[in-house]
Amino acid sequence: MPRASSRDALITTFGRLVEAHDVLARRLSASLELGCGIPLTWFEVLLRISRADQQLVSMTVLAEQVSLTTGGVTRLLDRMIAAGLVTRVPCPSDRRISYAALTEAGAARLTEALAIHRKDLSRSFDGFSAIELAQLDGLMDRLRHATPEQ
Amino acid sequence: MPRASSRDALITTFGRLVEAHDVLARRLSASLELGCGIPLTWFEVLLRISRADQQLVSMTVLAEQVSLTTGGVTRLLDRMIAAGLVTRVPCPSDRRISYAALTEAGAARLTEALAIHRKDLSRSFDGFSAIELAQLDGLMDRLRHATPEQ
DNA sequence: TAAGATTGAAGCATCAATCTTG
DNA sequence: CAAGATTGATGCTTCAATCTTA
C-alpha cells in the first residue's frame, strides 16, 4: 500500500505548476503594465499578430492562440482598438472574417514591451542552467499537447 | 547579433508554460465539474483545508495558498458554504480571524474529487518518465519561489 | 445548414473603502 | 494605528443566443 505522499506526487506537481504560473504571470503582467501600460494579455495579442502571416489574425485563430473564447477576444480587441494599438481589417475573400492588425502605435508598443519582457524573464529564470531551460521548454511543449482524449 | 529566435527562447518557453497551464487547468476543472460538480478552485480550497493543522485555515492564509485576494476568498467561501461544503469557524483567541472548515459533505466531496483528479492527472502525465516528472516537479518548485526582487 | 463574429446576461475576480478587533 | 475580513463598484471572461455571410 503506497503512502499518500507518493500516490499524490502528481497532485503536488500540478499544484506547483499552477502556483508557478500564477506567480510568474502576475509579476510579468504587473511589470509590463508599469513599464509600458499594457497587461500580459495585450502583449500576447500584439505578439501573435506580429508573428502571423501578413501580420493578420482572424478572431477565431487569435482566440485559440490566447486561450480565450471568440466572445472574449471580440471585447479584448474592442479595448485595444480604443487604446489605438490594433485595428480590424475585413477579409476581402470571405466577408464573415475580420482580421486583427497592428497599428503603428501597436507595433511600437510591442517593441517596448518586448524589451521589458525579455529583461523580466531573464531575471525570473536567473539561476537556471541552459540544460534546465531546455528541459523546461521540452516539458511544457509536451504538456500543452498532452492527450485530450477519452 | 543573435537571431531573434535565440534571443526570444525565454519568451517562447514562458508562452508554453502559460499554454500548458491553461490547457491542463481547463481540462482538469471540466472533468471535476462533470465528475463531482465542483470546479478546480473549489477542489484546491477543500484540499488546503484538509491538509491544514486542525483542518482550519484563516481567510488570509487561504487567499495566499490559492492565489486570490482576501476579498475573492470571502466570496468564494460564501458560494461553497451555500453549497454546504464548508463552514466558517470563529477563532476563539482572536475575534478578527475566521477560519474555513470542512463540513462532512465537504470532506466526502473531497474524497470523490481526489479520486477523479488522480486519474485525470495520470492520464495527462501519461508518457512522462519518473525522471521527467521529478525534473518537472523540481523546476516548478524553484520557479514558484524565484526571486520576486526589484 | 454551418462558420465566423458579435452581443446580452451572468459569474467570478480585483481594488479600494469600510468595519471590527487587537 | 495595524491586521483580518467583508462589501460596493468595476473589469474581464464565459455561455448561449443572434446576426451575417458561405
pLDDT in tens, A29-73: 999 999 999 999 999 999 999 999 999 999 999 999 999 999 999
| CA B113/CA B85 separation, integer angstroms | 13
CB contact under 8 A, B143 and A24: yes
CB contact under 8 A, B148 and A122: no
The C-alpha cell at A23 is 506567480
The band of A1, judged by pLDDT with boundaries at 50, 70 and 90, is very low
C-alpha to C-alpha distances, B54 to A31, B50, B114, B129, nearest whole angstrom:
38, 9, 20, 36
The C-alpha cell at B20 is 500548458
- In sequence order, the 6+-apart residues with CB closer than 8 A to the CB of A61 are A52
Q: Are A38 and A109 in contact (CB under 8 A)?
A: yes
A103-143 per-position pLDDT tens digit: 999 999 999 999 999 999 999 999 999 999 999 999 999 99
What share of chain B in percent tops pLDDT 70? 94
CA angle B89, B69, B34 (to 5 degrees): 75
Residue A46 CB neighbour total at 10 angstroms: 23
- The number of residues in chain A equals 150
Nearest-nucleotide field for A97 (CA, C1')? C4
Q: What pLDDT score was predicted for residue A7? A: 72
Q: What pLDDT score was predicted for residue A147? A: 74
B23-81 per-position pLDDT tens digit: 999 999 999 999 999 999 999 999 999 999 999 999 999 999 999 999 999 999 999 99
Q: What pLDDT score was predicted for residue A4? A: 57
What helix, strand, coil percent values describe chain B, rounded to 5? Answer: 70, 10, 25
Residue B29 CB neighbour total at 10 angstroms: 17
CB contact under 8 A, B142 and A128: yes
- The number of residues in chain B equals 150
B109-145 per-position pLDDT tens digit: 999 999 999 999 999 999 999 999 999 999 999 999 9
Q: Which helix (H) or strand (E) holds B90?
A: strand B86-90
* Burial (CB count <10 Å: 0-12, 13-18, 19+), residue B45: buried
C-alpha to C-alpha distances, A76 to A68, A72, A79, B35, B85, nearest whole angstrom:
10, 6, 5, 32, 35
C-alpha to C-alpha distances, A144 to A127, B4, B15, B22, B86, nearest whole angstrom:
25, 23, 10, 8, 33
Cβ within 7 A of any strand C atom:
A 58-61, 70-71, 73-75, 77-78, 88, 96-99; B 39, 41, 67-69, 71-72, 75-76, 79, 94-96
Residues 108..137 of A with a Cβ closer than 8 Å to B: which?
114, 117-118, 121-128, 132-133, 135-137
Least confident among A1-10, B29-38, B71-80, B83-92:
A1-10
Beta-strand relationship, A98-102 and B57-58: unpaired
What share of chain B in percent tops pLDDT 90? 92
